[in-house]
Structure 1
Amino acid sequence: MPALKKTVMTVLSAALLSVSVVSPAGAADKDKTDDKQPKPSGQMSTVGGARLGEVGTQVALGPGAPVLPKELTARSWIVADAESGDVLASHNAHWRLPPASTLKMLFADTVLPALQPKTLTHLVTEDELSGVGEGSSLVGVKEDHSYTVHDLWLGVFLRSGNDAVHVLSEMYGGVPATVAAMQRHAEELQALDTTVVSPDGYDAPRQVSSAYDLTLFARSGMQKADFREYAATATAEFPGEQKKGKKRETFEIQNTNRLITGDTGVDPYKGIAGVKNGYTTHAGNTFTGIAERDGKVLLVTVMNPSSEESHAVYKEAAHLLDWGFASDGKVTPVGELVPPRSAVAAKGSEPAAGAAKDAKKQHAAAAATAAPAGSSGVWTALSVVGGVLVVLAAGVFLVNRRWPLPDLARRLPRR
C-alpha cells in the first residue's frame, strides 16, 4: 500500500473512532473493577487522542485479541508501542498523580547530555547534600569524597539515590536551575500533565505527572546510549569511604527494578531493558518499563496499584506487557505517544527530508511512514483530528532498535 494512502487510511480511522461510541467489544472488555477504583476528579488532557482523556479503561479489541489482564488495580496505566507510538490500551492515562522516583527519568533525560564526559570527577560538599529530603533513598554519596559522573548516574538509576541526584543537580547549575530545565524539557516533549518541584521525585506540593507523561520521558530517554546503558544495568560497583592511607574500596549496588533483577515472587522479565521504578507514601508504587520480544518494543507505565500483593506494581506491569505482545496486530490503537514539539515543528524541513533519505529514501509526503526493518529508526505519524479531518502533520522521532543491550547478560546479578 502506498505510504500516503496508508497514512490517510490510518488517520481517517482515527477520525471516525474519535466521534463514535465505544464498540460493544471494547466496552465489554473494560476492567470490571473500574467502579470500585478511585477516579480522576477533574477533566483530563486529550494529548495523544480524545480517548486518552476519558475516565476508565480504553481498549479496542479486534478479532483474536486477548482480553486485558484481570484485577488490574493501578489508578493509572498505559501500554504503548515504543516505535510507532501507538497506545494499545490505557486506564486514566492523563490522571495527574505524584510520580515518585519515576520522575528521575525526566531528570536524567534533561541533565545527562550536559554532564560530559562521564569520567568527569566532582568533589562533593556538605551543602550539596543538605537539600536531600528526610527518608530519601540513598546510594551512599559522602561529602569531601570525589565521584565521577558515571558513578553518580549509576547511583541514580540503580539505587534511586536522591543524594546522587542533588550532587548532579548542583553540577548542572543548582536545584532551581535543574527544576526549571526539567519543566522546559517536559513541555518540549508535550508532557503537559507534569509539574516539576523537586528533581528527584521526592513528595512535594503540586508535583505531579501522569502515566502518559512518564511514558514520554522513557521513550525520549531511551534515545540516548548512556541512558539506555544505565537503565539496563543490574549491578555495579560504587565507590565507598576513603580511609586515610588505604586504597578506596567499592561496594556492590543492585538495581531496585525487580523486573531486571527479580525478587521473591517476581521473575526477571524476558527482554526487559529498563527503565525506572519509584515509591513514596504519597505516590505509592510507580513503574515504567520497556521490553522487546520478537522485534516488538513495548513501553508500560503503572501508577499506584491498590493491591496489597507484594510487588504488585511489577506484576501488573508484567501482565500488561504480556498482553501487549500477545495483542500485536489485533487491537486498534486508542491514541498515540506524540513526538516532541521540535519534531512537529520540523515537518517538511530539510532535516526531516534528510532523515527520510537516510531511511533508504522511503517516500514521505504529507505524513511519515515506518522505516524499513532493521533500520536504526522509525517515522512516527502525527494525526490531528478535531471531530473531522482537518490537517495532517508529520514528525521524525528516532528509536534505537538495540533491545536489550548486547551486554545486559554480563551485568545481571550473580545468583
Structure 2
Amino acid sequence: MARGLLALGVASAVLALPSVMTAGPPATAATRQVTTARQVTSARPPSTAGAGRSQRPCPTPPAVARPTRPAPPPLDPAHAAIGGPELAGAGLAAPPGVPSPPPVSATSWLVADLTSGAVLAGCGPHEYAVPASVQKLLLAAAVMPHLDPAELVEVTQSDLDFEPGSSAVGLVLGGRYSVETLWLGLLLNSGNDAANVLARLGGGPKGMAGGVAAMNAEARELGAYQTHAATPSGLDGPGQYTSAYDMALIARACFAREDFRRYAATPLAQVPAQKPYNTKGFPIWNDNQLLHRYPGALGGKTGYTDLARHSFVGAAERNGRTLLVTLLGAETPPLAGWQQGAALLDWGFGLPADTKVGQLVARGQLGPRGQPPTQAAGAGQTRPGEHRHGRPGWLLIGGVPVVVLGVLVPILILARRARRRRAGAQ
C-alpha cells in the first residue's frame, strides 16, 4: 500500500509540475487594464478591401474649393488606431442601425461622451488637419494648472508680435493684467495677444518658446500624437497640425478643470483700465455662439484662418449626458462652424446612451511613441524575491520551486516510514 501511495503521490506531483512552474502571478486589476488598453489602441487600421462601417463615406454638402495645404507627415498606423480600429479609416465611423449624421462641410469631426470618453461617431477622426484658434485649448491644458490666476503680468513688446488684423483682446504695451483676465481674453475673444503672454509666462526661462514646448509635451502626455504646435495662438505656422480625435483629448482635459469650465461658460467679462496709459476698461463678449444659442451649452472654442478654414470645439449637457464635438476644416456654407457643431450634438443626443465606436484614451495610457505599453512597467525584469519562472516571493532550489518540494517531501517521508515498518516486520 505504501508503494501505491508513493507512486500515486509522485505521479501527481510530476503531472502538476509543468503547470506549477509556468504559472504566473494572478491577474490583477492593473494587468486587466493594460490588456484592455492594448486591445483598444494597438489594432492596425482596417484595409480598404472589405473594410467595415468605418469606411462609409462621410455625409457632406456639395464640395467647395479649398486652399492647398502643406503635405502633413505620414500617418503612423499605430496613431491611426488610437482609440480603437473603427476610428482608423478616413470615412465615417458610426454604429450600424443608427440614423445617418447630418451633412457638414467639416473635413473631419468627432462626437464623444465627455464623461466616459466613449466615442459615439466620427468622420476621419485621425485625418491630419490645421487647427486655427482651437489650438488655444492645448495652451490652456498645458499652462493653466501652473499659473496663479491672481498674478499680475506686464505686457511686453514681444507679446504684441502677432499677425496684424488677427483676433486680439486689445492689451496695452506695459499694461498689467491678471492671469485670470488673460484666460478670459484668450477664451472669449480668442486673443492672440493673450496667448503670447500666457505662453511666455508658462514657458519659464525659455519664454514663449518654452510655452510652445510645454504644449507639445502636454499633447504627448494626453495621447494626442497627431498634434504639433508651432504657435501658442493657433495662427498658422510651419509643421502645425492636429486631428479631430486629438482635439477631443485636449478639450476633455480642459473641461476636467473647474476654472476652465468657468472661463469657457462666461458670456461677458471686463478688461480693466490701465490708468498709467490713460486707457479705459472695456467689455469683451464670448464669441462662441453655441454658448448663447444652444440649450445646455458649456462653451468651447472657435477658430479660423485662411489655411485651416473654420474649426470648432463645443460641449453641452442634456438629460444627464454631456457630449463633446470637435470639427476641423469646415466651410461656412451652408452653416457656421458652431451650427455644424450644434447639429452634430443634436444627432449625438438622439443616439442611445450606450452608443460607442471607440474610446478617448486616458492621460498617460500610451507609450512614448503613441503605442500602448506591451507589459507593465518593469515587466520581464527580475524583482527582489521574484524569479522568471515563479510567482513573486517563490524561491527556486535546484531549479525546482519550493511549492513542488512541498508536495514531494511529505511523500518521501511516508515512503521512508513504510520501509522502516517493513524492515521491523522482517
Instruction: Report if TM-score (shorter chain) is over 0.5.
Output: yes
Q: 2:228: which partner in 1?
A: 195
Match of residue 122, structure 1, among 131, 138, 153: 153
Q: 1:207: which partner in 2?
A: 240
- What's the offset of the Cα at 1:34? 9.2
Q: Which amino acid aligns with 1:47?
A: I
Q: 2:90: which partner in 1?
A: 55
Q: Structure 1 residues 86 and 35, CA, compared in 2 at 3 Å: closer, same or farther? A: farther
- What's the offset of the Cα at 1:14? 10
Q: Structure 1 residues 119 and 329, CA, compared in 2 at 3 Å: closer, same or farther? A: closer
Q: 1:76: which partner in 2?
A: 108
Q: 2:219: which partner in 1?
A: 186
Q: Structure 1 residues 46 and 35, CA, compared in 2 at 3 Å: closer, same or farther? A: farther
Q: Structure 1 residues 110 and 137, CA, compared in 2 at 3 Å: closer, same or farther? A: same
Q: 2:341: which partner in 1?
A: 317
Larger Rg: 2
Q: Which amino acid aligns with 1:334?
A: V
- What's the offset of the Cα at 1:272? 0.8
- What's the offset of the Cα at 1:55? 1.2
Q: 2:141: which partner in 1?
A: 109
Match of 2:334, SS?
coil
**1:327-366 counterparts in 2 under 5 A?**
327-329=351-353, 331=355, 333-341=356-364
Q: Distance in 1 between matches of 2:37 and 2:224?
A: 24
Match of residue 182, structure 2, among 138, 145, 152: 152
Q: Which amino acid aligns with 2:352?
A: D
- What's the offset of the Cα at 1:240? 3.6
Q: Structure 1 residues 126 and 60, CA, compared in 2 at 3 Å: closer, same or farther? A: same
Match of residue 250, structure 1, among 272, 276, 281: 281
Q: Distance in 2 between matches of 1:123 and 1:107?
A: 19
Q: Is the 8 A contact 1:66 1:326 kept in 2?
A: no
Match of residue 299, structure 1, among 296, 309, 324: 324
Of Structure 1 and Structure 2, which has the larger fraction of its residues in strand? 1
Q: 2:117: which partner in 1?
A: 85
Match of 1:74, SS?
coil
Q: Distance in 2 between matches of 1:110 and 1:51?
A: 29
Q: Structure 1 residues 210 and 110, CA, compared in 2 at 3 Å: closer, same or farther? A: same
Q: Is the 8 A contact 2:40 2:82 kept in 1?
A: no
**1:39-50 counterparts in 2 under 5 A?**
43=75, 45-50=80-85
* Alignment deviations for residues 134-157 of structure 1 (CA, whole Å, 9 cap, x no partner): 332100000121111111111101
Q: Distance in 2 between matches of 1:163 and 1:199?
A: 10
Q: Distance in 1 between matches of 2:142 and 2:236?
A: 20
Match of residue 194, structure 2, among 139, 148, 164: 164
Stretch of structure 1 that moved more, 44-53 or 26-35? 26-35
* Alignment deviations for residues 105-156 of structure 1 (CA, whole Å, 9 cap, x no partner): 010111111111x111122222332x32233210000012111111111110
* Alignment deviations for residues 205-225 of structure 1 (CA, whole Å, 9 cap, x no partner): 110011111111110011111
Q: Which amino acid aligns with 2:170?
A: G
Q: Structure 1 residues 122 and 74, CA, compared in 2 at 3 Å: closer, same or farther? A: same
Residues 1:279 and 2:280 aligned together: no
Q: Distance in 1 between matches of 2:195 and 2:127?
A: 26
Q: Which amino acid aligns with 1:103?
A: Q
Q: Structure 1 residues 201 and 16, CA, compared in 2 at 3 Å: closer, same or farther? A: closer
Gaps of 5+ in 2: 1-28, 378-426
- What's the offset of the Cα at 1:61? 2.7
Q: Structure 1 residues 304 and 9, CA, compared in 2 at 3 Å: closer, same or farther? A: closer
Could you list the runs of 4 or more consecutive aligned residues of structure 1 that deviate by over 6 angstroms after TM superposition? 6-20, 37-41, 390-393
* Alignment deviations for residues 260-307 of structure 1 (CA, whole Å, 9 cap, x no partner): 13xxxxxx1111101111111110010011111111111100112235
Q: 2:168: which partner in 1?
A: 138
Q: Is the 8 A contact 1:72 1:316 kept in 2?
A: yes
Q: Is the 8 A contact 1:61 1:330 kept in 2?
A: no
Gaps of 5+ in 1: 262-267, 346-382, 394-415
Q: 1:368: which partner in 2?
A: none
Stretch of structure 1 that moved more, 297-306 or 42-51? 42-51
Q: Distance in 2 between matches of 1:47 and 1:13?
A: 7
Q: Is the 8 A contact 2:227 2:241 kept in 1?
A: yes
Q: Distance in 2 between matches of 1:270 and 1:105?
A: 22
Q: Structure 1 residues 205 and 18, CA, compared in 2 at 3 Å: closer, same or farther? A: closer
Q: Structure 1 residues 300 and 147, CA, compared in 2 at 3 Å: closer, same or farther? A: same
Q: Distance in 2 between matches of 1:87 and 1:198?
A: 29
* Alignment deviations for residues 352-403 of structure 1 (CA, whole Å, 9 cap, x no partner): xxxxxxxxxxxxxxxxxxxxxxxxxxxxxxx979xxxx9899xxxxxxxxxx
Q: Which amino acid aligns with 2:91?
A: G
**1:381-396 counterparts in 2 under 5 A?**
none
Q: 1:222: which partner in 2?
A: 255
